[in-house]
Amino acid sequence: MVSARRLRALLLGILSGPQRGASARTMAPPRFFALELPGCTLAHFAVGTDAAGAPLDPRAAALLGPPGRSYSLCVPVAPGGDYAARVRAARLHQRLLQQLHRGPLKRCQLRRLLCYSPDGRAGALQQGVLLHDPNDSPDTRRALLALLDSYLETPRPRLGEFLADPLPQLWQRLWELRDGQGWRQVEREPVGRAPEPALHPVVPDLPSSGVFPHREAARGVLEACTAFIPEARAVLELVDRCPAQVQKGKFPVIVIEGLDATGKTTVTQAASESLQAALLRSPPACVSEWRKVFDDEPTIVRRAFYSLGNYIVASEIAEKSTTSPVIVDRYWHSTATYAIATEVSGAVQHLPPAHHPIYQWPRDLLKPNLVLLLTVSPEERRKRIQGRGLERTREETELEDNNVFRQKVEVCYQRMENPGCQVVDADPSQEEVLKTVLSLIQKNCY
């Protein structure tokens, strides 16, 4: 008798054997994907010949397979992976997400999807989305192909379609544009479970897409934006006026960090008055008028803007600290923390582990003497924020709506190193919090 496993393998060979002989495509290494599931958990799967027979995570199978039909859309980065290519891919991904909420596609369910290399190579990551049509309407496929036709730039997003057979085995078929033939599906490839990588797939790309380790990396991103964001050139001109390396003066520099509604603005103002210190903010006033422009851009552009703002502030710190202490309302830790929490999908356990290099201070940015992190309980924070009506960034708004995102931001703050953050409980009265802050400054800086 033939075992069930052997029978399954024979059937898979019959179904996929001719296609393997017809094309070298299936001999290529499998493509790996990370799919964000409900509850901020991740499922990993692979597409390719090596994935045949590996049973999918049931939660992923429920999203990829019937009932209904699912499609993957991933945005590749052009060969070379320079800053201009990365910016183009990021803006294309943002535009794609906006268009998927319109017309016949807006009835479909969207899930964040990443296509990555299992060896953790930087530059191999593709941002994408899984689109699930619960009704399996032919209008969805037509709308997706029409959407791809609307992109004149290359590379276009890659469209894959998932289907199942009675074995049951899940398959993916890619759509390709062939000269004179329009869009055609290529041979199908099996879909199976993939092992979870040691690090979240986005982490290797962070130093070139959000947590820039030095000024030139952030500068390269904004340089690639000058053709379509006029304000980018103005920011670069301000940055280029700042010395490449600056030194602190003889007086201490204290940074105060914290989420919105932790009392940060009040404490920084009161501390600067008590210490007769200069009060600076990041981003600095000279670029703050352009925040709205850059907040509407993808992470790589938005974080480059905030990173360069830190270097402008560093130049101001160097000057002011020669004559008085300096209090800074947010600095590099904010820039890095929000970038990591935004880009690393899933829950807190998917963040880079403590002591990972991504939490290290940039090698060419002026360091403060002390960083204080104000924290409040979720209940106190909600109480304070009600009725404030202040204009907030996209990430600050998400802090209110997404508990997991807020937890990731808080954990990232606490994992920052060299310098790390000293946590200050900001639940008590403003007077008590100020007393604690001044005591810590006295203890660590004088």
Q: Which helix (H) or strand (E) holds 431?
A: helix 430-445
Residue 78 is predicted with a pLDDT of 78
| Tokens, residue 272 | 């600067």
CA 118 to chain CA centroid, Å, is 19
Provide the Cα torsion 141, 147, 152, 157; round to 10°: -70
Q: Give the rounded percent of residues in the chain with a pLDDT score beyond 90.
A: 73
Round the average pLDDT of the chain to a whole number and report it. Answer: 88
DSSP, res 321: T
* 22, pLDDT greater than 60: no
Q: What are phi and psi of 360, to 5 degrees?
A: -85, 145
Provide the pLDDT confidence category of residue 20 given band limits of 50, 70 and 90: very low
Instruction: Reply yes or no on whether the pLDDT at 350 is more than 90.
Output: yes
Phi, psi of 156 (to 5 degrees): -75, 165
Distance CA 300, CA 77 (A): 13
pLDDT given for residue 391 in this prediction: 53
Is the pLDDT at 312 greater than 70? The verdict is yes
Q: What is the pLDDT of residue 118?
A: 83
pLDDT confidence of residue 388: 58
Lowest mean pLDDT among 15-19, 243-247, 415-419: 15-19
Query: Which of 8-22, 118-132, 239-253, 373-387 has the weakest average pLDDT?
Result: 8-22
Tell me the C-alpha to C-alpha distance, in Å, between residue 215 and each of 94, 111, 138, 316, 332.
25, 34, 49, 16, 12
- pLDDT at 28 > cutoff 70: no
Detail the DSSP E strand segments found in 180-277: 182-185, 189-193, 253-258
pLDDT for res 181: 78
The arrangement of secondary structure in 203-445, i.e. its CATH architecture, is: 3-Layer(aba) Sandwich (3.40)
- For 322, the token pair is 């020669």
> CA separation (Å) from 219 to 307, 363, 364?
9, 15, 13
Domain extents in the chain: 30-193, 203-445
Cis peptide before 283 (omega within 30 of 0): yes
Band of pLDDT at residue 16, cut at 50, 70 and 90:
very low
Cis bond before residue 419 (omega within 30° of 0): yes
d(CA 270, CA 254): 13
Q: pLDDT by residue (tens digit) across 399-409?
A: 655 789 999 99
Burial state string for 325-343 with b = 16 or more CB within 10 A and e = fewer than 16: bbbbbbbbbbbbbbbbbbb
For residues 99 and 147, the answer to whether their CB atoms sit within 8 Å is yes
What average pLDDT score do residues 71-83 get? 87
CA atoms of 235 and 39, how far apart (whole Å): 39
Burial category of 167 from C-beta neighbours within 10 Å (exposed 0-12, middle 13-18, buried 19 and up): middle
At 395 the pLDDT is 58
pLDDT in tens, 390-401: 555 565 566 655
CB 123 within 8 A of CB 81: yes
Pairing of strands 370-375, 422-425: parallel
Measured distance between the N- and C-terminal CA atoms of the chain, rounded to whole angstroms? 83
Mean of pLDDT values over 51-62: 84
